[in-house]
Chains A and B, each alone.
Chain A
Amino acid sequence: AQKVTQAQTEISVVEKEDVTLDCVYETRDTTYYLFWYKQPPSGELVFLIRRNSFDEQNEISGRYSWNFQKSTSSFNFTITASQVVDSAVYFCALYNFNKFYFGSGTKLNVKP
């Protein structure tokens, strides 16, 4: 069975702090994709990153970075120097065989 766990329900930080959102997944398949999405207060989910199971290279995009470790089945997301605009709910997801499995989301509050 496929499962994605985001143990952090809600995180609050002060602007400019770094914050890491955790994501742990379960699957018996060797081929899958992992995603992160951002859901701002408006509600629409915004795609942030996709990683396939054969690519364990970490990725950096501006203030965002992702750490994929198959050995621990984790795909963590770090925001460096957080800003108020980063406040949102973030979802981690796993995809294979036509279906996406989402974690329960982590609500990030960035205070000025």
Chain B
Amino acid sequence: SQTIHQWPATLVQPVGSPLSLECTVEGTSNPNLYWYRQAAGRGLQLLFYSVGIGQISSEVPQNLSASRPQDRQFILSSKKLLLSDSGFYLCAGRQGSTDTQYFGPGTRLTVL
């Protein structure tokens, strides 16, 4: 099965600063990749997904953007963070052979 790597695990950033979260995938090629956000005590909100290099679908218009420069790399970015960007960010990959989605360990982002 595939392994999803995310870093950093925890991040504290001031309002207005930029953001770059990286996700990489091991153990599979050409996976579908996903970024989710989870507010404290809430469910998962799909932010972006990608079916291939350079292909990004945005689910929620907001202060964030995503890029997929390589097959197994998915990056979540922001030019200027807002307080409302705080949350737990999860990267996931869908393994095509089983259609199962596996998740990374997540990044806890606090914007102050």
Contacts and interface: CB of A to CB of B under 8 A. Distances in A.
Interface in A20-49: 33, 35, 37, 42-47
The secondary structure that dominates the B interface is: strand
Contact of A95 (B43, B99, B104, B105): B99
Q: How large is the interface on B (under 10, 10 to 19, 20 to 34, 35 or more residues)?
A: 20 to 34
B104 A104 contact: no
A9 B34 CA distance: 25
Interface stretch (B12-20, B21-29, B44-52, B66-74): B44-52
B100 A43 contact: no
A76 B96 CA distance: 25
Contacts of A105: 42-43
Contacts of A46: 103
B103 A45 contact: yes
A35 B99 CA distance: 10
Interface in B90-112: 90, 92, 94, 98-106, 108
Q: What is the interface of chain A mostly: helix, strand, loop, or mixed? A: strand
Contacts, number: 51
A24 to B, nearest CB: 15
Contact of A44 (B43, B44, B94, B106): B106
B43 A104 contact: yes
Given A33-B99, A98-B32, A43 B108 contact: yes
A100 interface: yes
B101 A44 contact: no
Nearest to B107: A43
Interface residues of A, number: 21
Interface string B51-80: 100000000000000000000000000000
Nearest to B59: A99
Contact of A47 (B34, B46, B88, B101): B101
A100 B100 contact: no
Interface of A: 33, 35, 37, 42-47, 50, 52, 91, 93, 95, 98-100, 102-105
Given A99-B46, A105-B43, 6 more contacts: A37-B103, A42-B105, A43-B106, A45-B92, A98-B51, A99-B49
